[in-house]
Amino acid sequence: MTSWAILCYWVCSNLVALNQVLFLKIPAVRTYFKIPAKIKHDETKLPVKKKPFVAGMKESWNNMKVTKDLEDRQRYDEMRFKKAGLGPVTKTYSYDPTRHNPDGSPRKK
């Protein structure tokens, strides 16, 4: 029952908004309510050029993939940083620097 009420509200609200937009596009109505005329920009000076639908969708898809890859990399880096801070120290040397020979030189394992 609740989902039908929400659906009815959504449809009615969108129909009212659509009718309002269509009504306010009429030039006589715009002059009566003193709504300024729409500004038309020179498309050659706009920073973003219009693209065909398919090209725009491909660009959006590629941007989404790049964003996902960046987020995955950031998550991976955070996990590695946390593991490095909490985990045991990794051995990065070929001998133990805390052990020394009797003559004072470092002893190899």
DSSP label at 97? T
pLDDT of residue 31: 93
Q: Which of 77, 106, 103 is nearest to 93 (CA)?
A: 106
Residue 21 located in a structural domain: yes
Residue 91 located in a structural domain: no
Residue type, 14: N
pLDDT tens across 5-53, in order? 999 999 999 999 999 999 999 999 999 999 998 888 888 888 888 889 9
Can you give the residue range of the structural domain that contains 77?
A: 41-85
| 1 and 25 together in one domain | yes
Work out how many domains the chain is built from and give that number.
Answer: 2
pLDDT tens across 59-109, in order? 999 999 999 999 999 999 999 998 888 877 777 777 666 766 666 665 665
In the predicted model, is pLDDT for residue 54 greater than 60?
yes
pLDDT of residue 88: 78
For residue 106, the cross-strand partners are 100
Q: How many CB atoms lie within 10 A of CB 107?
A: 13
| 59 and 23 together in one domain | no
| 48 and 63 together in one domain | yes
| 22 and 34 together in one domain | yes
Residue 35 located in a structural domain: yes
Measured at the CA of 23, the angle between CA 17 and CA 27, to 5 degrees, comes to 145
Residue 30 CB-density burial (10 A; 0-12 exposed, 13-18 middle, 19+ buried): middle
pLDDT of residue 94: 74
